[in-house]
Structure 1
C-alpha cells in the first residue's frame, strides 16, 4: 500500500491530476530503492513537453479549484458573526505585517545616529529617544495584535469547525454500504473529512491564504525600506546580495529528494519488514492480548521479532526515516555553504582595513544589512512555500466538497412503497429470480442463480452452513447491495424501482454481525424506531420482548448506561488503589475504538446479553402495533443465546409477528423449522432444496441428512 508522508520537511500530497500513474511504466516512472522501500517518481508529468509546465501546473490547479474556494467563502459568510471576525482578523494581520518594516526603518535611523556621532561627535538625544520609543511602541503593538488575533481566531475556528463538522457528518452518513466499504472512498474520506484535533481544512485554507497575502505586504514594505537603507550605506548592495545568496544556496542544498508538486508513491515488498511490523502491531493491540497470554506466545513473538530485526539490520526503518537519512547524505555542494556564509564578514574586514575610521559604522551597518537581508530572503522563500500551500489547501477544499457528492452504488428508485400502507399488516411477498451476487473485490459467488418465492405472511427459515449465503439473501432484500444478475421482486414489483427510504422503512432487520452504537442502552434500543427513540415506555417494552430488561435494570445506570463511553476521562497518575473515578472504572489503557466494538464488548456484559440488546432494537421496530413494517428479517438471531433463551425468543417472535412476513436465517435446525411455512436449504451459495419441514424430510435430501445428524446428537 503506498504510504505518503507529510510535513514541512517533506513533500506534501499534490492535487490529483488527470491520467494514470503506473509504477510499472519504466519510461515515465523512475524507480529508486530506499532501504526496504521501493520509491516510484513520475518523470514525465502531464504537459511535460511544454517548457516550464511543472511550474505552471500548481497555478492551473489553483484556477480549477477557485470555484470551490468561492463556495467556501459563501458558506463561511453564512455562519453567524463570521464576516466581521474575518474582517478584524485580516486588518490585524495587515497591520502586523507592516511592523517589521517600521522596525527596520527605526533601525536605519539608529544607524544614521551612529554615523552622525562618528562624523560630528554629537548625538541628537531627542531623535534617539523618539527612535527608542518607536521601537518600544512596535513591540507593544505586536503584543496587542497577537492578543486580538487570538481572540478572533478562537471563535472563528470553532464556528467554522462546527459548520463543516455537520457537512462532513452528512457526507459520510449518506453513503450506502458498498460505497462506504470501497477503499478508494475511504481514502477520499480520510483526506477530506478526517477529524482534525484543533482546526479544519476550511480554516487552514483561509489562514494560509491570508498569510500569503500578508507576506506580500511584508515583502513590499520591507523591500522599500531596505532599498532606502542600502542606498545610503557603503557596499550595502554587495553585502545584501551576499547575504541573500547564502540563504538561497542553503535552501537549494537542503532541498529534499522528491518533487513537492510531483506524483510519487512508495511501497515495500520485503517479507521480513512486513512481518516485523505485523508483530509490532500484534503485541501492541488490546484485541490480541488475551490470546497472546493464554497461548503463551510472548517468547515466540519476541524471538521472531528479534530475528527479523537482525536480518534487516540497518534497513529496518520506516519510509519517513529512510527518506530523512537520504536527504542527510554527504553533498559536495554543502562544502560551499559555510564559506559563503562568511563572505559578508570578509567584505567587512577588507572595508575596515581600507577605512579604519569607519569601523563602528560599518559594524552596525553589517549587522543591520545582513540580518535584514536574511530576514527578507527567508520571507521571500516563505512566500514561495505559502503559494504551494495555498495550492494544496484549495485542493483540500475541493475534496471537502466533492465527498458530499460521491455517488452511491445502490441507485434510488422512484416509485413509492407501498401503495396502500395498511397492506403491510398482511406482510410482504419476496421473490428471487435467478439472482447471483459477489461481494466487491471477491471472485467467489456469495449467491448463485437463486430462485424462490416467499408469500405474504409466511414464516421462512433459511438454513445452511456458515458462509453458505444465508446472510447475503437478507442483505439483498434490504438492498444493501445490488445483485450482479437476476431480479428481486417485492410484492411483485421490481425492488430497484422502489424508493429506498420507503422500502427500508417497511423492513425490520437484525444482522448476524450486529453492532452496538457508542450511545446509551436506551438509545441503542430506541434507534429501532427513530421517531420514538427517546420514548422510555416503548423502549422498555422492546427490551422486555427482547429479553434484555431484567439485566439492564441491574446495571448501575440502567437504561442510561453507555455500552462504550465515546468520551474518555482525563486524569494524572493515580495511586495504585484507585480503581474507580467519577463512578466509572479507571481505564489505564488506551481508549478503545467504540466504532469497532464487537458483540462481546464492555460493561461486563456477555455476548448473549449484547445480542438481546440488538434483538430489543429489532423489536422496537417490528412491534405488531407499528403498521409501517411488513417484513421482519433475522440473521442468526440466537447465535449467542442459550437454549432456553433461544426457545423463549422464537416463541415471542412467532406470537408477535401477526400476519407479517418473517424470514430467519440459521445454521441450527430445531423448533423454528418445524413451524416454518417455507424452508430454504442453501449450501455453497446455491439454494438446493425448498419446502416445509415434513416435505424436506420426505425428500430425504441434504436437509433430511443434516436434520438426522443433529437429532442423533441428542439421542441416548
Structure 2
C-alpha cells in the first residue's frame, strides 16, 4: 500500500466529512488517517457530541453511514483483497470463478428438469411409451447431477484452503500488531476501542462468527445477483400468456408458505466432532498465548524480555493445528451424494400425474416445474442477498478498524531521523533525570513531580518511600515501559527517547512489583526471562538456584514441567478431549511466585550486555533470611570476581534495612524525590528518611 505510517497521537475529530473530489486533492491527511476518521465517525451517536457506540455495536443504516461505508470501500477494500489474493493467487481465482459459475446452477437445474418433464409428457402423449426411451433423459440428468456434485465438492475443498490461509494471515497480523504496541499507545481509550473492533474482524474473518465480514461476501453479493437475474430471465422467457400467468401466480403462492415457516422454527445444531488430545493441547496453548498478547497485565514483561516474536511463533504453530481441525466447521466439503439430492429428482417424477391437468392447455408440465424451482430459488437468493448486504455493511466498518489499527505506531518508538543505537559504557549505565513529571491518562493529579537525580554506571540505588509516592511509576519510566510528560531522562548521556525501546530493553533485566504469573509450566515461566535459552535446561536450573527456588522445584509433582495455576485464567475444555495435562495445574503461594519472578530476571541478569538490573519490591513476600540471600545474589551478579562494578542496580524496597546496601538512596514523597544521598548522609539530615528508618529498625 502507498500509505504513510501514522506518526502522531490518534486525536481526531468526530465530525468527519467525506472529502469532495477537489478537497481530496488538497487534503493534507494521509489516507490511513482518513480511514480512521471514517471509522470513528461511524461510531458517533446521533445528537450526542462526544458519545460513541460501544465497540462491536451495529451501525444504523443511515445515509451518513452509507456514505462512510462507500468511502471506506473505495479506499481500502481493493488493497485489502490484493493482499489476500497474493496468499493463493491461483486458488483465489478459481474460488471467485467457481462461485459465479455455481450461481448459474439453480437456473440451469430448473431448466434441465423442465426438459425432462416435457420429454416425459411427449412420450406419454404419443402412445408409444417405452422404458428405453425414458432411460435416456433420466440417465442424462443423473450424469449432469454427478458432474455438478463433483464441481461443488472441488469448489468447497478449494474454498477451505483459501479461507484457511486468509483467516490465519489476518489473525497473525492482528497478533503481531498487539505484541508490538506499547503501554502508552494502549492506554488511549479510543485506540483500545479501535483494537477491539479490529480484533472482532480478525476473529470472525472467514469463520462466519458474529455475522461479520467474510472474504466471500462481496463475491457472494455478485453471485447472488447473477443467480437472481438468471431465474428472472428463465421465468420471463416462459411466461407468454394468461394461462402461464395463472400458473406463475399459483407457483408463487405454493412456494411462499414453506419459505416463511422456517423463519419461525429452530434448527438443531450439528453435533461437534470429538477433539483429539493434540487438538485440545493446541486449543489450550493458542488461548494462553493469545491471553499473553492481549492482556495489559503481561505487557511490561513482554516488552522488557522481548517476548513478541516467541509469542507469534508459538501461537502460529498452535493455531495451524486448530484451524486444520476447524475447517469442516466453516467450510465442510459436500459429497456427491449430498449434492445429488435424490428426493428432488423423485419430486419431478411425482409431477407426472398432473399431466391430465394440462392435456387441454398450451402449457407444459415442464413450465410448472421451472416456476416452482425458480421461484423457490429466487426467494432464497433474495433473502440471502439482503442478509449478505447487511453483513457486508457492518463488516466494512470492522475492516476499516482493522486497516487503521495496522497503521498504529508505538508511541515510544523514536522517529527514524532521531533514532540512535544504544550507547554502551563500562560498568553499567549512567542515568541523569531532570525535572521529570508524569500524569497517568485520565488522572488530574500527577504521579511524578520534578524528579531529578543522577546515578553513575555501576552504582546501586535504593528507592524508598511510602505507598503511593510514585516509586513503581518511576521504575517503569526508567525501564522505558511508560513515557513521561515533562523533563528529560538521559541514559549514557543520550536522550532515552532516541533509543528504540526494544534495543534498550535488551540491555535490562527486572522484577516488577506486579510481576506476571504466566499460565504455563514452571520451565516456561522462568525461561521467558531469556527466550533464547528457554529450552536450555542448565540455564534454567542456574536461574532457579540463584533465586533460591531449588526446594520449590523439588516439591512440585512434575518438577520444571509442572503447569502452574494462575489467577484469572481458566483453561478451556473441549468435547471429546481426555487430556489430563490441561486439568493438572499446581498453585503457588505468594512467596513461591516471587521466587519464580526472581528466577525469570536472573535468566537474563548474568548475560553479557545487561547493564542495569531493576527490582521493584523483589522480596516483599520473603522472610528476612531469604531477603538477605537474594540481595547477596544481586550484589554478586552486579560485580566482577575482583569486586569491580559491572552493572547498575536499582531496587525499590519498603524494608529500609536493605537500603543500607545501596550506594545512593532516593526518598520519595508525594511523587517527588525529597531526599537523595547515601544512607549515612540521609540519616544525618534527620529528615523524612531518618524518621522512616528509625521506625523500621
Match among 369, 374, 377 for residue 375 of structure 1: 377
List per-residue Cα deviations over 1:209-261 (Å, max 9, x = no partner). Answer: 3323332332333233222322377242883599499979x99xx9xxxxxxx
Aligned pair in 2 of structure 1 residues 465, 29: CA closer, same or farther (>3 Å)? closer
Residue equivalent to 2:650: 663
Return the TM-score normalized by structure 2: 0.69
Secondary structure of the corresponding residue to residue 66 of structure 1:
helix
Residue equivalent to 1:480: 481
CA displacement at 1:570 relative to structure 2: 4.0
List per-residue Cα deviations over 1:341-393 (Å, max 9, x = no partner). Answer: xxxxxxxxxxx9xx997599699866752552242243234334434444554
What aligned pairs does 1:231-630 form with structure 2 within 5 A after superposition?
231=240, 234-236=243-245, 239=248, 243=252, 368-369=370-371, 371-412=373-414, 414-419=418-423, 421=424, 423-424=425-426, 426-564=427-565, 568=572, 570=574, 584=581, 586=583, 603-623=586-606, 626-630=607-611
How many corresponding residue pairs?
550
How large is the RMSD of aligned CA atoms in angstroms? 4.2
CA distance in 2, matches of 1:452, 1:603: 44
Q: Does the 8 Å CA contact 1:99/1:138 hold for their aligned counterparts?
A: no
Secondary structure of the corresponding residue to residue 479 of structure 1:
coil
Counterpart check, 1:68 vs 2:79: yes
Q: Does the 8 Å CA contact 1:463/1:667 hold for their aligned counterparts?
A: yes
Aligned pair in 2 of structure 1 residues 570, 63: CA closer, same or farther (>3 Å)? closer
Q: Does the 8 Å CA contact 1:177/1:480 hold for their aligned counterparts?
A: yes
CA distance in 1, matches of 2:70, 2:633: 67
Q: Which moved more, 1:176-185 or 1:436-445?
A: 176-185
Secondary structure of the corresponding residue to residue 205 of structure 1:
coil
Residue equivalent to 1:634: 615
CA displacement at 1:21 relative to structure 2: 6.0
Residue equivalent to 2:18: none
CA distance in 2, matches of 1:469, 1:30: 34
Q: Does the 8 Å CA contact 2:412/2:501 hold for their aligned counterparts?
A: no
Residue equivalent to 1:79: none
List per-residue Cα deviations over 1:561-603 (Å, max 9, x = no partner). Answer: 3335997564659xxxxxxx7554747xxxxxxxxxxxxxx51
Secondary structure of the corresponding residue to residue 446 of structure 2:
coil
Residue equivalent to 1:196: 203
Secondary structure of the corresponding residue to residue 382 of structure 1:
helix
Residue equivalent to 2:178: 172
Name stretches of at least 5 consecutive residues in structure 1 with no aligned partner.
1-13, 32-38, 47-53, 77-81, 255-351, 574-580, 588-601, 712-716
CA displacement at 1:558 relative to structure 2: 2.4
Residue equivalent to 2:329: none
What aligned pairs does 1:135-146 form with structure 2 within 5 A after superposition?
135-146=141-152
Return the TM-score normalized by structure 1: 0.67
Name stretches of at least 5 consecutive residues in structure 2 with no aligned partner.
1-35, 264-353, 640-644
Secondary structure of the corresponding residue to residue 215 of structure 2:
helix
Residue equivalent to 2:315: none
Counterpart check, 1:25 vs 2:47: yes
List per-residue Cα deviations over 1:297-333 (Å, max 9, x = no partner). Answer: xxxxxxxxxxxxxxxxxxxxxxxxxxxxxxxxxxxxx
Secondary structure of the corresponding residue to residue 524 of structure 2:
helix
List per-residue Cα deviations over 1:380-436 (Å, max 9, x = no partner). Answer: 3433443444455455444434322212222326454444x4x24x12122221111
Counterpart check, 1:703 vs 2:679: no
Match among 221, 233, 237 for residue 228 of structure 1: 237
Counterpart check, 1:692 vs 2:678: yes
Secondary structure of the corresponding residue to residue 656 of structure 2:
coil
